[in-house]
Amino acid sequence: MSATSFYRHCCRVAAVGTLLLGFACKREERRFTATYPSAPAYAAVTLDTLQPGVPSPELTVNSPAEGNAYDIAQGKLLFAQWNCTGCHSHGGGGMGPPLMDNEWIYGSSPENIVATIVEGRPNGMPSFRNRITANQLWQLAAYVRSLAGLEAKGPSPGRNDEMQYKVDEQRTPFRTPRASSSRNVPAKSERP
Amino acid sequence: MTVVGDISAEAGRQAERPLRPVVNVSDLPSVVYGSRVVTWWGTVGFMAAEAATLSACVASYYYVLRNFESWPPLRTALPDLFIPTISLIVLILALVPTYLFARAAKRFDKRATVRWMWVAVVMMFIATGLRLMEFGALNVRWDANAYASVAWAVVFAHFTLLLADTLETLLFTVIMQRRDPARYYPGVAEDAFYSYFMVAVWIPCYVTVYLVPRWV
Amino acid sequence: MTWAGSIFDTAGTPAARIARLAWFLIIVSGVTYLLVLVATGIAMRRARARRTQGELADTRPETANRLTRNVAIATIATTLILLGYVTATALTGKAIAWPLNAQRPLTIEVTGHQWWWQFRYRDSVPSNWLTTSNELHIPVGRPVRVILLSNDVIHSFWIPELHGKQDLIPGHRNTTWIQADRPGVWKAHCAEFCGHQHAKMLFDVVAESPAKFDQWYIRQLASALPPTDSATKRGHDVFVQRTCIMCHSINGTEAGSNVGPELTHIASRPSIAAGSLPNTRVNLARWILNPQLIKPGVRMPPNALSPADMNALLDYLETLK
Amino acid sequence: MSAQPQPAERAVEPDPNSPASLHARLEQVWRNGPGLWGWLTSVNHKSIALRSIITAFTFFGIAGIEAALMRVQLARPENSFIGPDLYNQLFTTHGSAMMFLFAVPMVQSVALYFVPIMIGTRNVAFPRLNAFGYWTYLIGGVLLFSGLFTNTGPDQGWFSYVPLAGPGFSPGKRVDIWAQMITFTEIAAIVAAIEVIVTVFKQRAPGMSLNRVPPFVWAMVVMSFMVLVAMPYVATASAMLAMDRLIATQFFNYTEGGDALLWQHLFWFFGHPEVYIIFIPGLGMVSAIVATFSRRPVFGYTAVVLSLVAIGFLSFGLWVHHMFATPLPQTGESFFTAASAMIAIPTGVTIFCWIATIWSGRPRFDTPMLYVIGFIALFTIGGLSGLLLASVPVDLQITDTDFLPGHIHYVLLGGMVFPLFGALHYWFPKVTGRMMSERLGKVSFWLLFVGVNVTFFPQLLLGIAGMPRRVYTYLADTGWGGLNLTSSIGAGLIALGILLLVVNIARSLAAGPAAGADPWGGETLEWAISSPAPDYNFAYIPIVHGRSALWADTGDLDAVAGLREDRREVLQTTMLDAVPDSRHEHPDPTIVPLLTALAVGVGLIWGIFDPIGFDVGAVLMFIALAAWGWPQKTKPNSHEIVEVPNDRRR
């Protein structure tokens, strides 16, 4: 096994290696100066699939923050700092509906969530139009989805340095989202 | 072949130094026991590494203990004593067949060695099963608080040692059963030696995890 | 030697004592280093002579004894130098400790955030507690006890001209003290790696006479004046109706969020963006429009504002003296 | 009742006709398999060590390029060559790769290559464990750099302080990749340490009692003991960090009782011995080179060896000098100042002994000797700047500033890389059979020496000027631009020096003059065999009569015959006086170490993403270990001479 043939092995292995590593891992990208889709993109999103006549094609906006670890972590920070926990209390619900379950009143796709934040919703969800920049909206939407386990496990955040109140998003199991109207929330006595 | 540099007489030489055999060692034994054999030293090396790992876990346990006023912290139950004590007793008892098969191995008595090894393997598997139940006896999930994490760390660290030793003893038993190579007897004796270490090193961990919360 | 900004350009007793010890150690180390080099040089020259005369290596017993003596002397010398070194360190350590007989000490609580500083002046009268950010004023001559807390990761509070650094560790309450013996304006850097913008997490230190300090203190305590003319009124509306209100607070207005630095007296500060940008109108505009171009990774998002809104906002912010 | 079968016939008497036929027979037994399969199954200590040295040098090159990129970014204030995110990844992987993927594996590979041939044995004690160690190290290195090249390189600093490296403030899998790389390299380091210790304790040539072991070998044994005790601490700490990030354990969560300082204590209890683990082999290489090039044994052998052992012990007692700026009690910190000062005494003794060796020797200043002089010049600056850092008050001013990278690089480049390059020039003939060019060697030495000083002395000054470390840029009005530019120019010189060294290696490999067995006239056993050394090292195991094995007499070396020539057999001797004690059969080339390493690799890398990966990895590993322990097929006419325990022969 002379030294030269050993070098040939190394070059062959290195060549194969670099081929594999060509793609940059999108999950871990830190996009600081990227601009995310702004207001008009999510304004025209319909929240229900029922439409008279032939349903027009669904307008989908792919959220850049989807599956990006940095954006979800930023969303988690903003969720706590802007007092969303005041009503949704870390996802378990309180005055506001719970976000960790698979019941979605106004849609679970990122653009639905962004529309909910911007428009506000009856029964107390304030409208944050012009208050939150586009980047942060998509980051918040990505985090809310990870609360319900809808984001990939890799980029979802682990525990944070606070008192432990729930299982962290990384270990929240995926459950297929189910539309539910705010009215058929079971009365208090029937709740399990 | 050109030679480079200012190499005066006593500095460099081209040819290799001829070796003149003066002693014959072909009559030296090839199967020896205890610290004369190389694998014994290897086992001691791994014991040192594992002892260092366990000491890191136990040191972290006492370091974290300093952060709490009440240990275990409020609203955290004390670990049970029943299952862990049973598991400790079974582990210590497992040393009896271990010593016996080590002695038999030194006497090259294959039948006795294999018999006692099976007894030791069964008892160690019982101890491994009890250890898995011990995780439940800690009465706390590993992610509840720092106390739970370090308690789990100490018990899990030693669990890896116990599992490794059990499977190694099982492997040697199966080998000894099928064939009778003389050179495997020292290996069996070393496995016993490792079992003594594995059980001995568990006692301070047992005291740390199960008794210290009651004393502090 | 006053090399600006270095640990020798001291303005406080602790830093001065440390600088003196540092000089002592540097000189001792330098001398030791020269001795080692000289010894190596002599050894090389002496032995080269032996090579040219064709002699063999000198392994005679008397040379061995002489060399043993030399090595023993060198080792004992090293030990003595180290003893001197340790005692000098202990003495300086005692000298830079918190003076027990400090009169009228001022207490400041420093909280480190990811990539900006928050200072809370804990006056003896609780209602006079002042919270500012990214700018530290201290009166000359008064010892200042500094309490170090962190909100997220480990930072390090370090003003080279006044004292050594101490880390801000979450979960720990670290303390240090500083005292300025002469007025001056310095720039202090965060000294423990804390993420993307560790490099530009600075704060300004202004040491001034007690009188000027009290004036500054009273002015800072005052809330912001409501806007008077229409331009600043519109600027105020942009501030409270757009994205700024989510993170910043201005006492005297509806903005009360403590996510980001408070801006009640932003116009009075020499720099913005945690001490890394001079506080001019152009810089403020560039910073508000897209902070990521100046400090990539910082938590403040880019804000799309129309030029009219931007100018009104800048006018309003400039009134916040 | 002792089974004492009579051997069928006496060991074959040495073949009368010629050593060549003996060489042919031994080569037949000890050779690696052919082609790629032979390469993957090799258990020969020299092939594995050479492969490990080349891998370590490759990582050194990549980490060096990262350093060059950083220096370009820092050359001008407010430079926009590299953004903060990439810069943080670069300095973290530069530090981690240099510490864990270059320094420790390199010194251990040099040990695994030269210790067996210096103490006169045919292979390292546990050959398959040696192969397993290399493959684990390779997987760890590939993991770290595949992370960097896919934008998931760790970006929290090579010592990864916790809240920043914790799950709360490091999103994604970057820190997990770092933590698993630590686990891989730590397994490889412990395994190599055990091999070196056991080889030196049990397989020394007859007559080489403990006080005749060369200082180089002593340095490697001390280093191995330190690895054995220090590495598990970083393994436990990195496992705790990985579990904090993966299954939400609360080791470092201060709100649930954990503590950020727990990480610092655990890491630096390993961290400081780690830098001595890297530096002590440098002392070993220097003592080997000084002795040969001064044409006399090292002066004060006992003093040097006892100093090495003292450094080994003391290094475990001064880890808190990395944590002076944290809220630890003041008196505790001054204890560590004294301990840090105390370790300078044995270090001083070793340097004084080498100067005395040169003083009374007949030195010839070829390239290896130049590197030793470079070591003395650079390492002393590093040591003395270390003293500044060890004194608490001064440390509060200069820790975490650019003074520290200056100190680190003076100590590590001066204390390890210069001796390593000296050893490269010194032992290149032994490894490849060709001499390296003296002219190129001297030029690259001076380039490196000037480059190191021009790069890192300005960093010491920048530290005093108040520039914090690990900053991707600095403001223009700070006045640090000039010194940083000088430092960047120095980095260019270093790059040039390294390039010239690589050219020297390539040229010498291709067309270097033949070196013969002993071009420098060394005193240790490796110069008695041909170069490149045959796979079996020694046809007959030599007998050692004095501390300088080859300088005692110039005639034929006494040797020991009787080891089997039809299978791989190694002579084992007693620990203290190396009296021949037993023969031990070594395993043939096998693929099992590679499979076990792959099992560990699958377990740990899958474990980054899902905890179930650890269980699958554990099951695979136990299966592979069962195959490892399973007896190989018994060879023909294999009859062992069995020793009944009570018949002990000391």
Give the separation between CA A114 and CA A137, rounded to whole angstroms.
6
Q: Is the pLDDT of residue D244 over 90?
A: yes
Q: Which of B 106-165 lie inside 8 A of D, CB atoms?
A: 106-108, 142-150, 152-153, 157
The answer to whether D30 and D536 have CB atoms below 8 angstroms apart is: yes
Could you give the C-alpha distances from C285 to B110, C200, C219, D119, in angstroms and in order?
A: 88, 18, 25, 72
> Can you give the pLDDT at residue D633?
73
> Can you give the pLDDT at residue A143?
95
> Can you give the pLDDT at residue A180?
77
Residue that is written with structure tokens 């009134």 in the block: C319
Q: Is the pLDDT of residue D65 over 90?
A: yes
Q: Is D584 in the B-facing interface, judged by CB distances under 8 Å?
A: yes
- Burial of B56 (C-beta count, 10 Å sphere; 0-12/13-18/19+): buried
Confidence of residue D649 (pLDDT cuts 50, 70, 90): very low
- Burial of C93 (C-beta count, 10 Å sphere; 0-12/13-18/19+): buried
> Can you give the pLDDT at residue D362?
84
Higher pLDDT, D69 or D364: D69
> Can you give the pLDDT at residue D265?
95
How do residues C55-102 score in pLDDT, each as one tens digit? Answer: 777 778 888 888 899 999 999 999 999 999 999 999 999 888 888 888
- Single out the residue of A165, D247, D250, A159 nearest to residue B73, CA to CA: D250
Contacts of D42 in chain A (CB under 8 A): 1
Q: Determine which of A10-24, B81-95, C80-94 has the lowest per-residue pLDDT on average.
A: A10-24
The answer to whether C138 and C104 have CB atoms below 8 angstroms apart is: no
Contacts of D84 in chain C (CB under 8 A): 196-197, 199, 296-297
State which H helix or E strand residue C69 sits in: helix C61-95
Contact yes or no for D150 and A24 at CB 8 A: yes
What residues does C272 pair with on adjacent strands? C277
The answer to whether D26 and D534 have CB atoms below 8 angstroms apart is: yes
Give the separation between CA A30 and CA D488, rounded to whole angstroms.
27
Sequence-separated contacts (24+) of C213-220 with Cβ below 8 Å? C213/C137, C213/C138, C213/C139, C214/C139, C216/C137, C217/C121, C217/C130, C217/C137, C219/C265, C219/C268, C219/C321, C220/C130, C220/C132, C220/C264, C220/C265, C220/C268
Confidence of residue A54 (pLDDT cuts 50, 70, 90): confident
> Can you give the pLDDT at residue B108?
84
Burial readout C250-266 (b: 16 or more C-beta within 10 A, e: otherwise): bbebebeeebbbbbbbb
Contact yes or no for B145 and A159 at CB 8 A: no
Confidence of residue D288 (pLDDT cuts 50, 70, 90): very high
Count of CA atoms in the C-beta half-sphere (13 A) of D198: 26
Within 10 angstroms of residue B180's Cβ, the number of other Cβ atoms is: 14
Question: Could you tell me whether strands C166-168 and C155-157 are parallel, antiparallel, or unpaired per DSSP bridges?
Answer: antiparallel
Mean pLDDT computed over every residue of chain C? 91
Q: Is the pLDDT of residue C45 over 80?
A: yes
Note if the bond before D154 is cis, omega within 30 degrees: no
> Can you give the pLDDT at residue A24?
61
The answer to whether C78 and D344 have CB atoms below 8 angstroms apart is: yes
The answer to whether C7 and C188 have CB atoms below 8 angstroms apart is: no
Assign 3-state DSSP to chain B and report helix, strand, coil percentages, each to 5: 70, 5, 25
Give the separation between CA B29 and CA A154, rounded to whole angstroms.
57
Q: Determine which of B68-72, C299-303, D2-6, D594-598 has the lowest per-residue pLDDT on average.
A: D2-6
Confidence of residue D10 (pLDDT cuts 50, 70, 90): very low
The answer to whether D191 and D135 have CB atoms below 8 angstroms apart is: no
Dihedral over alpha carbons D413, D415, D421, D423 (to 10 degrees): -170
Residues of A with CB under 8 A from a CB of B: 159, 164
What does the DSSP 8-state code read for residue B209? I
Higher pLDDT, B177 or C83: C83
Residue A112's contacts (CB-CB under 8 Å, 6 or more residues apart) are A45, A47, A104, A106
> Can you give the pLDDT at residue B1?
23
- Percentage of chain B exceeding pLDDT 70: 94
pTM of full prediction above 0.90: yes
Give the separation between CA D182 and CA D140, rounded to whole angstroms.
8
Q: What is the ipTM of this complex?
A: 0.92
Q: Determine which of C55-64, D420-429, D515-524 has the lowest per-residue pLDDT on average.
A: C55-64
What residues does D557 pair with on adjacent strands? B19
Per the structure block, which two tokens stand in for D311? 């450094």
Q: Is D255 in the C-facing interface, judged by CB distances under 8 Å?
A: yes
- Single out the residue of C78, C96, C35, C77 nearest to residue D387, CA to CA: C78
> Can you give the pLDDT at residue D331?
77
How do residues C158-207 score in pLDDT, each as one tens digit? Answer: 999 999 999 999 999 999 999 999 999 999 999 999 999 999 999 999 99
Q: Is the pLDDT of residue D636 over 50?
A: yes
> Can you give the pLDDT at residue B15?
79
Question: Could you tell me whether strands D541-542 and C166-168 are parallel, antiparallel, or unpaired per DSSP bridges?
Answer: unpaired
Three-state SS across chain A?
CCHHHHHHHHHHHHHHHHHHCCCCCHHHCCCCCCCCCCHHHHHCCCCCCCCCCCCCCCCCCCCCCCCCHHHHHHHHHHHHHCCCHHHHHHHCCCCCCCCCCCEECCCCCHHHHHHHHHHCEHHHECCCCCCCCHHHHHHHHHHHHHHCCCCCCCCCCCCCCCCCCCCCHHHCCCCCCEECCHHHCCCHHHCC
Confidence of residue D61 (pLDDT cuts 50, 70, 90): very high
Assign 3-state DSSP to chain D and report helix, strand, coil percentages, each to 5: 65, 5, 30
- Single out the residue of C129, C295, C123 nearest to residue C202, CA to CA: C295
Confidence of residue A91 (pLDDT cuts 50, 70, 90): confident
Contact yes or no for B15 and D516 at CB 8 A: yes
Mean pLDDT computed over every residue of chain B? 88
How do residues D148-188 score in pLDDT, each as one tens digit? Answer: 999 899 999 999 999 999 999 999 999 999 999 999 999 99
- Single out the residue of D498, D382, D388 nearest to residue D444, CA to CA: D498
Interface test with B, best of D644, D646, D648 (most B CBs within 10 A): D644
Task: Calculate mean pLDDT across residues D272-300.
Answer: 93
Q: Is the pLDDT of residue A52 over 90?
A: no
The answer to whether C56 and C48 have CB atoms below 8 angstroms apart is: no
Contact yes or no for C242 and A131 at CB 8 A: yes
Task: Give the residue from chain B lying closest to D561, CA to CA.
Answer: B24
The answer to whether C7 and C19 have CB atoms below 8 angstroms apart is: yes
What residues does C204 pair with on adjacent strands? C135, C187
- Percentage of chain A exceeding pLDDT 90: 27
Confidence of residue A17 (pLDDT cuts 50, 70, 90): low
Task: Calculate mean pLDDT across residues D360-382.
Answer: 92
How do residues D450-503 score in pLDDT, each as one tens digit? Answer: 999 999 999 999 999 999 999 999 999 888 999 999 999 999 999 999 999 999
> Can you give the pLDDT at residue A102?
87
Q: List chains adjacent to chain B, taking adjacency as at least 3 C-beta pairs closer than 8 Å.
A: A, D
Per the structure block, which two tokens stand in for A127? 């409208």
Q: List chains adjacent to chain D, taking adjacency as at least 3 C-beta pairs closer than 8 Å.
A: A, B, C
The answer to whether C52 and B8 have CB atoms below 8 angstroms apart is: no
Contacts of B132 in chain D (CB under 8 A): none
Q: Is D365 in the C-facing interface, judged by CB distances under 8 Å?
A: yes
Task: Calculate mean pLDDT across residues C121-128.
Answer: 90
How do residues D311-353 score in pLDDT, each as one tens digit? Answer: 999 999 999 999 999 998 877 888 899 999 999 999 999 999 9
Give the separation between CA A135 and CA A45, rounded to whole angstroms.
18
Per the structure block, which two tokens stand in for A124? 């107390």
Facing residue for D166 by CB, picked from A20, A69, A161: A161
How do residues D553-570 score in pLDDT, each as one tens digit? Answer: 777 888 998 888 888 999
> Can you give the pLDDT at residue D56?
97
Confidence of residue D15 (pLDDT cuts 50, 70, 90): low
How do residues D218-233 score in pLDDT, each as one tens digit? Answer: 999 999 999 999 999 9
How do residues B131-152 score in pLDDT, each as one tens digit? Answer: 999 999 999 999 889 999 999 9
State which H helix or E strand residue D368 sits in: helix D367-390
Q: Determine which of A60-64, C150-154, D79-83 has the lowest per-residue pLDDT on average.
A: A60-64
Q: Is the pLDDT of residue B8 over 50?
A: no
Q: Is the pLDDT of residue D398 over 70?
A: yes
- Single out the residue of B84, B106, B123 nearest to residue B203, CA to CA: B84
Contacts of C297 in chain D (CB under 8 A): 84-85
> Can you give the pLDDT at residue A1?
43
Q: Determine which of A48-62, C177-191, D574-588 has the lowest per-residue pLDDT on average.
A: A48-62
Contact yes or no for D326 and C25 at CB 8 A: no
Phi-psi group of C54: left, alpha or beta (phi > 0 → left; psi -120 to 50 → alpha; rest → beta): left
Residue D288's contacts (CB-CB under 8 Å, 6 or more residues apart) are D214, D215, D216, D423, D426, D522, D524
Q: Which of D 272-291 lie inside 8 A of A, CB atoms?
A: none
What does the DSSP 8-state code read for residue D414? I
> Can you give the pLDDT at residue D629?
87
The answer to whether C296 and D82 have CB atoms below 8 angstroms apart is: no
Q: Is the pLDDT of residue C270 over 50?
A: yes
Contact yes or no for A82 and C196 at CB 8 A: no
Q: Which of A 67-86 lie inside 8 A of D, CB atoms?
A: 69-70, 72-73
What residues does D558 pair with on adjacent strands? B20
